[in-house]
Structure 1
Amino acid sequence: MYTIGQVASFLGVSRDTLKYYEEKELVKPKYDDQNGYRKYNQFDIHDVVTINFYRELDIEIKKIQEIRKSKNIDDLEYVLEEKEEKILEELEYKKLLLKQIRSVKEDCSKIKEHLGKFTVKEMKPLEVKGEITDYTAYNEYEILRNSTENLKKAVTLTSARRVIRFDREGIKDDKFIIVTKVEDTDKNLKGEVHAYPKCIYTVVENGRAVDGGKSIDHEVGERLLKIAQEKGYELVGIAYINILLTMYEDGLERVFLEMYSPIK
């Protein structure tokens, strides 16, 4: 027979854990009538080992209680299948989370490399999933949740693109599309695909901390035309703008946007 302290020591669990198991009637050591100490026998210790194993599988105490009462191995198998399904869902979410983290890290690198500079870069294929009226059309955000890869709680704007059409006289019109990146393995594309092998590319900064949150439309049209003329490029007359990252300075946002403007 062993005391609770001895069991806690050689099984590597706390006394409180063992007492909790007792409260839930998962283990029932005998009490010494003379001193009131708990006495664990080999069967009690086996119960603790088994309970710890199920807990390590992240099976809830209530489920363990049900397993102990059941005589059918199918009941245990059902519990394990439930847990397996939940873990697989969590793994998929963790993969998405990791993908998002890596994407934000890439955006940080883009900002450091391209902020305020102009270069020629490919705009990789984007499949159009839908449209919204504006970034501030919050009642239309459902399409952002349903049409793109998002986190569980966060609605992200990284899949939204502002598409501006312009000429030498200025901006003609613009719209906001919801897109998803086209992977090499994608075969069943349903939406319109936008892709350009050569674009004038830059990263610009906007937001209340920078310019009071004024429109960046001055970056489109006149400035792009000037850059194109200096470099000898002929613009198509379209610009794709999307939010890369938002940071804060003295409580005011600094918004970094990337812009692709296709050239012929």
Structure 2
Amino acid sequence: MYTIGQVAKFLGVSRDTLKFYEEKKLVKPKQNMENGYRKYNHFDIYDITTVNFYREVDIEIKKIQELRKSKSIEGIKSLLEEKEQEVLEEIQYKKLLLKKLQTVKEDCEKVKQFLGEYIVKEMKPLEIKGEIEHFTAFDEYETLKKNAENLKKAVTLTSLRRVISFNEEGIIDDKFFVVRKVEDVDKEIEGEIRSHPKCIYTVIEDGRWSTGGKSIDHNVEASLRKVAKDKGYELLGLVYINQLLTTYEDGLERVFLEIYAPIK
């Protein structure tokens, strides 16, 4: 017979873990009624190593409790197949999460490199998945939840593109589209595709910390017109605006926006 301390040392598990197994009736050591000390025999130790075996492949305690009552080889195989499917789904999720993290890191670099700078850059294809009236049209966010490729299925604004149409007199249309970046050419595409081989590209800062909550549309329009004139570009009357990143300063948001203005 062995004490809980000896068994913990033998098997490399904590006393708390052994007590937890006992609480869940996965092991039933004899207990001295006078001093309350537990005594484990070799059958108890074997039970613990069996529980450890199934925990090693991440089988839940509840499933192990069911297994302790009765489980055929086919039942065990089915249990493992169920866990295998969970792991495959988790791997897929982790791959998507890794890609998302890398994209956000790239967006941080864009802010550092292009904030206030103007270059000519291609706007890669976007598929239009839906449209809402404005980013403050909260009652229309169901469209965002349904069409945006968000890992947690919660609403974010990174799948929105604000598309402004303008002429020499100013803004003539202002829309908010839910979009998907077209990366897999073989994937079935249902919506309209927008792409432009040449755009004036820049990153600007918006948000209450830098603007006091005032609109910067006029300043952005004036800057784009000036750059186009100075460089000899002809604007096509469109501006695509994408939210790259948000951070905070003194409790006020700093919003960094990516700007594509198609040119001839």
In structure 1, stretches of 5+ residues that fail to align are: none
2:140 corresponding residue in structure 1: 140
**1:76 is aligned to 2:76:** yes
Partner of 1:230: 230
Which segment drifts farther, 196-205 or 80-89?
Answer: 80-89
Distance in 1 (CA, whole Å) between partners of 2:76 and 2:134 is 52
Amino acid at match of 1:15: R
Q: Provide the TM-score with structure 1 as the length reference.
A: 0.93
Is 1:178 aligned to 2:184, yes or no?
Answer: no
Tell me the amino acid that sits aligned with residue 19 of structure 2. K
The Cα offsets for residues 160-181 of structure 1, whole Å up to 9 and x where unpaired, read as 0111111221111111111100
Which residue identity lines up with residue 92 of structure 1 in the other structure? Answer: Q
Alpha-carbon distance change, 71 to 230 in structure 1, aligned in 2, over 3 angstroms: closer
Structural mapping, 1:21-32, within 5 Å: 21-31=21-31
Q: Relative to 1, partners in 2 of residues 1:153 and 1:187: Cα closer, same or farther, differing over 3 Å?
A: closer
Query: 1:147, CA displacement in angstroms?
Result: 1.1
- Cα displacement (A) at 1:33: 7.5
List per-residue Cα deviations over 1:215-234 (Å, max 9, x = no partner): 22114443322211100111
**2:89 paired with 1:86:** no
Shift of 1:54: 1.4
Matches within 5 A, 1:46-57: 46-57=46-57
In terms of mean alpha carbon deviation, does 183-192 or 164-173 score higher?
183-192
Partner secondary structure for residue 107 of structure 2: helix
**8 Å contact 1:130–1:178 — kept in the other structure?**
yes
Rounded to whole Å, the distance in 1 between the matches of 2:81 and 2:25 is 25
Superposed, 1:109-258 pairs within 5 Å as 109-152=109-152, 154-258=154-258
Which deviates more from structure 2 when the two are superposed, residues 176-185 or residues 254-263? 176-185
Q: TM-score, normalised by structure 2?
A: 0.93
Deviation at 1:187, TM superposition (A): 3.6
Deviation at 1:63, TM superposition (A): 1.2
Q: Counterpart amino acid of 2:261?
A: S
Q: Does the CA contact (< 8 Å) of 2:165 and 2:174 recur in 1?
A: yes
Gaps of at least 5 residues in structure 2 are: none
Any idea what the Cα deviations from partners look like across 1:25-49, whole Å, max 9, x if unmatched?
2112344688764332322211111
Partner secondary structure for residue 53 of structure 1: helix
Q: How many residues align?
A: 264
Q: Report how far residue 186 of structure 1 moved.
A: 3.5
Query: After superposition, where does 1:33-72 map in structure 2 within 5 Å?
Result: 37-72=37-72
Which piece of structure 1 moves more, 218-227 or 252-261? 218-227
Give the Cα separation in 2 of the matches to 1:15 and 1:157. Answer: 48
Shift in Å, 1:156? 1.3
* Deviates further, 166-175 or 94-103: 94-103
Aligned letter for 1:186? D
- Counterpart CA distance in 1 for 2:207 and 2:36 is 69
The verdict on how the C-alpha distance between 1:34 and 1:206 changes in structure 2, with shifts beyond 3 A counting, is closer
CA distance in 1, matches of 2:108, 2:191: 29
SS of 2:175 mapped into structure 1: strand
- RMSD between superposed Cα atoms in Å: 1.9
Shift in Å, 1:246? 0.9
CA contact (8 A) 1:209 1:254 kept: yes
Q: CA contact under 8 A between 2:145 and 2:153: conserved in structure 1?
A: no
Deviation at 1:69, TM superposition (A): 0.9
8 Å Cα contact 1:168/1:222 also seen in 2: no
> How far apart are 1:60 and its partner, in Å?
2.1
SS in 1 for 2:179: strand
Report the Cα distance in structure 2 between the residues aligned to 1:45 and 1:165, rounded to whole angstroms.
74
**Among the aligned pairs, what percent are the same residue?**
68
